[in-house]
Structure 1
Amino acid sequence: MASVREVQVTFDCAEPERVARFWCEVLGYVVPPPPPGFDSWAAFDRSLPAERQGSAFACVDPNGVGPRLFFQRVPEGKVVKNRVHLDVRVGSGLVGEERLAALEAEAARLEKWGATRGELLLADEFNESCQNMFDVEGNEFCLD
């Protein structure tokens, strides 16, 4: 049997720190400590060649359970729907109106951080309700 591997989720984006800080807010993640010898990430960033400054940022689960998220600057913008997206569990165990209220509350909270809403998919005979969302650079994710 193959061993389990750790994964990192990588986002291509225009503004890595902005997108990383948005996802810290969504997931309760934190910015990891800067590399040894630097008192801040800003100091580390200033040590890089000009063309690499601001080119990457990361956030991590403070409990060490979830994957590290890495954000890298790319020159092109987002042009098509994501083939992979994150499902952020906010209504686990809730059904009906309680679930809709939890989705609404979280969507409203994240809008204050720059998220935008997509389609609200209402429960059917197979699935519970979920709210499609977009992060600060238009990457899709779901609140479910």
Structure 2
Amino acid sequence: MAKVLQITFDCADPLGLGEFWCEVLGYVRESPPEAETWEEQLRLWKVPESEWNSRNAIIDPEGASPRIYFQRVPEGKSAKNRLHLDIRQAPGLTGEERMAAFEQRAAELVAMGAERVQRLDDNPATGDLGIIVMRDPEGNEFCLD
């Protein structure tokens, strides 16, 4: 049987971080199972309002990519990620055209609360293509690749 992959983020603000990643990935917030809105659904389930931002899920509207789940945790991020997302921002582009696409997207993401960490240009000695390393609004590393 095939397995279904879900990516989970521990975070302080599941709704806010979910909105950020919706914009980055072109995802949408997962629809509630029974009601028209999540507020109505949470009221039906009798979830206290203080818990309405304790979890959130976003999905690829085309169903091709994994669901991403955000869960509130009490502790903040304390170390470098051992796992990170690579956002394939410029498939098929090379050289300066590729890096220009990354620069444009990095500027847009910084305006949304991301942090630019480092630009690594093409390295002909290793065959590595250039990337821009970023952090989301809660400090999780990802790359424009």
Q: Does the TM-score normalized on the shorter chain lie above 0.5?
A: yes
What's the secondary structure of 1:133's corresponding residue? strand
Q: How far does residue 23 in structure 1 lie from its aligned partner after superposition?
A: 0.2
Q: Deviations over 1:59-81 (max 9, x none)?
A: 00000000000000000000000
Q: Deviations over 1:73-117 (max 9, x none)?
A: 000000000110000001211111101100001101111211110
Report matched runs for 1:78-93 at 5 Å. Answer: 78-93=77-92
**Are 1:7 and 2:8 matched, yes or no?**
no
Unaligned runs of 5+ in 1: none
Q: Percent identity?
A: 49
Tell me what 1:107 maps to: 106
Tell me what 2:55 maps to: 56
Q: Which amino acid aligns with 2:66?
A: P
Between the aligned partners of 1:9 and 1:101, the Cα distance in structure 2 is 29
Q: How far does residue 42 in structure 1 lie from its aligned partner after superposition?
A: 2.2
Divergent runs of 4+, >2 A: 42-47, 49-53
Q: Deviations over 1:43-63 (max 9, x none)?
A: 333430355331000100000
Tell me what 2:24 maps to: 26
Pick from 24, 38, 41 the counterpart of residue 41 of structure 1.
38
What's the secondary structure of 1:54's corresponding residue? coil
Between the aligned partners of 1:45 and 1:24, the Cα distance in structure 2 is 21
Between 91-100 and 16-25, report the one with greater CA deviation. 91-100
**1:45, 1:54 within 8 Å by CA — same for their partners in 2?**
no
Between the aligned partners of 1:50 and 1:98, the Cα distance in structure 2 is 47
| Alpha-carbon RMSD | 1.3
Q: Which amino acid aligns with 1:5?
A: K
How many aligned residue pairs are there? 141
Unaligned runs of 5+ in 2: none
